[in-house]
Copies of this chain bind each other. A is one copy, B any other.
């Protein structure tokens, strides 16, 4: 039952965006709207459940993709992870918008969403860590950061990204930001009438960021 509600709710996200209506979901299930309350205490709880599931689905896809290629081919793994994120977003546009679009007015994501939300960026930065450990990736010069930023990113690395030098972390975050920007632009229609070959465009842009990060070219 819980699953059926969530499935129908997901379909509604696709048409109504984040303005998810409990009544519409109930209607589609052939139930009366109050029946939903047996399963979810409120509309926001249903939304939260959908968000957590979506983050995890995206996280699963990205993690699996990053584990696919040869472990030492960081660039292939980077591309695979990014493509997986994009593929998931293109097949689940409404859920992507729910996660990364404008915040839903009046809805504050509870703490349970934090850790699933970290999975994709953790995966990407994980590649950088492996690069350092295997010596395939050399960190950028340590002095390219201003002191306050150096301190911020050192602290951030200590908490979530152990062992990543701050200047490299900044580049990893640049990659994650770019990935998000590329997907959002494509999904929200900024590429319409501009670029026809979306796959090639995406791969190229992801490759540029891999260069910036310093991922080694395949031999």
Q: Which residue numbers of A lie inside 8 Å of B, CB to CB?
A: 15-19, 97, 100-105, 144-146, 148-149, 152-153, 156, 170-171, 173-174, 177-178, 180-182, 184-185, 188-189, 194-197, 200-201, 204-205, 208-209, 211-212
Contact = CB atoms under 8 A, between A and B. Distances in A.
Given A195-B153, A212-B211, A170 B102 contact: no
Given A184-B184, A205-B174, A200 B19 contact: no
B105 A16 contact: yes
A182 B184 CA distance: 12
Nearest to A208: B174
Contacts of A145: 204
A94 to B, nearest CB: 9
- A-B pairs, top 5 by smallest CB distance, nearest first, are A101-B102, A181-B181, A17-B105, A177-B181, A97-B102
Contact of A156 (B16, B101, B195): B195
Given A146-B204, A149-B204, A103 B182 contact: no
Contacts of A156: 194-195
B189 A103 contact: yes
